Structure formats: structure tokens, C-alpha cells
Amino acid sequence: MATLKKKNTTKAPIQGDKIMWIIILLGSLGTLGYLIYHWNEDRQLLFRYTDFGILVPMNYAIHGIDVSKYQLSINWEKVKAAKSGKISMQFAFIKSTEGIMSIDPQFKINWNNANNARIIKGAYHFFIATKSGKLQAQHFIAQVKLKKGDLPPVLDVEASYGVNNKDLKMRVQEWLDIVEQHYNVRPIIYTNIDFYKKQLGADFDEYPLWIAHYTLHHQPRIQRNWLFWQHSEKGKIPGIKAFVDFNVFNGDSTAFHHILIK
């Protein structure tokens, strides 16, 4: 009888190209998992609130709006009561003055009614770079009476109107110095990222910054510290018929109350 040969049970070694493909597959799965994780993280930071009609950054505790004549007549009690999930409007910046003569026609009624609705309020001046910083500061001071618990005064500067950078900075600094001396509190600068970088820059890095930037993300794209972020100009809220700017404060409730006028 013929002897049966034993089968060779030794497995052939895995070739190098198979190992390479396994490494590539594992790497791809790892990358996909990383992307899914961060997509889900970003999705949780931003959530569409149907009451407000915009994506609202979720990783901030203090939310608010800013208004001017363009929001027309405002029902501040409805603004105060508006709520979606944990988000409500806790502060409002209100336009007061512009240049050396103009007063926002809705300022006084907005100022009084926001106060009556128990919304923490602040006033801002729209800066005209062709005009004297001193005269603009005096105009603002004549119209805005700040009290304990109000937000610091704000200088809205976002256009040079052809003024050279040296004169622009000089006039901005003049406004800031006079207003700070009068109210005994450092003013906030409001502007957009490009204007800050190109026109103001490091000369004003010591001032609190309120930055406008509408890219949908969890924070504005700027390197320096900022206090407020205007993240949308297309918000909707009960009590205001027009679109309204939405903002967040960069800090918790303790930090927020710390910046208020004492």
C-alpha cells in the first residue's frame, strides 16, 4: 500500500504588499474616525435655533444683540422674554451717536425701554474718521449717561473714509482718551477683522475688542484676545421685525458682571 503524504500545515508568510495595504486601511479608518469625531463636536457647538433663524455658538454662556434705527420700533419686553433652549438675550448694545452731530432717532426710546425690560445695556458711537475725535467724544458724552451696571462705552470704527492711517489712529485715540477720562472706564473698540489688522493693529491691542466676523465657526478668526463677538447680522427675535445682529460674550457670568460699570 502506498504511504499517504502528510499535508504541509505551515502557512505561507504574509507578503510585504499585504502588510502595506493593511496599514493603509487602518490609517484611513483612523482618519475617518477623527473627522467624524470633530464633525460631531462642531455640530454640537453650533445648533440651528428656529426661533432665531441662525446658527448660534453653543459654547458661550452670555448672548446678546446690538440695535440701531434700522431695527425700527422694538418691543423690549418680548426681546427679554425670548428664549430658545438655554439661549436668551442678556445684553444689548444700542447705537447712540454718529460723527459730531447725528443722534440715532431710536436711541433714547431704546435706551429707556431696554432699561425698563431689565436688559443690561451699553451705548456705541459710530466713528467718522474725517471728523475730530475730540468733538465726536464730546457729542457722545452729551447724549449718553451711563450708570452702575451698564456696559462700557463703545467706539464703532470700521471705515477710514480716505483718511491716512496716522490721522485715523490719532483721532481714534483722542476719542478713546476723552471718553475713558469722563466715564472712568476703558472703552471697547468695535470693528471687523480686516479693518483691525490693516488700520488699527497693535497700537490698540490693550483695548477690549468687540469683533465682527460672520464665518460659521466656534470663534472669530483673530489672534488677539476679544471680549465680544458679533457672529451674525441675520438673526430674528420676537419683538424686532427686522434682522438683528447677534453677539456672544467671551467669558462666564462672573467675568461678564466684572466688566460692567461700577
Q: How many CA atoms, within 13 angstroms, populate the side-chain half-sphere of residue 63?
A: 25
Instruction: Exactly one of 17, 42, 156, 158 is catalytic; name it.
Output: 158
**Grid coordinates of 96:** 447712540
Torsion sign over Cα 217, 221, 223, 226: negative
Q: Which residues are CB-neighbours of 150 under 8 A, at least 6 positions away?
A: 120, 121, 122, 123, 260, 261
Helix (H, G, I), strand (E, B) or coil at 208: coil
Cα 234 to Cα 66, 96, 244, 245, distances in angstroms = 12, 21, 6, 6
Residue 66 annotated in active site = yes
CB-based contact 57:45 (threshold 8 Å): yes
**Grid coordinates of 89:** 438675550
Q: How many CA atoms, within 13 angstroms, populate the side-chain half-sphere of residue 90?
A: 15
Instruction: Exactly one of 41, 42, 51, 66 is catalytic; name it.
Output: 66
Q: Which residues are CB-neighbours of 163 under 8 A, at least 6 positions away?
A: 129, 130, 171
What is the distance between the alpha carbons of residues 182 and 165, in angstroms, rounded to a whole number?
26
As a whole number of Å, the CA-based R_g of the chain is 27
Active site residues: 66, 158
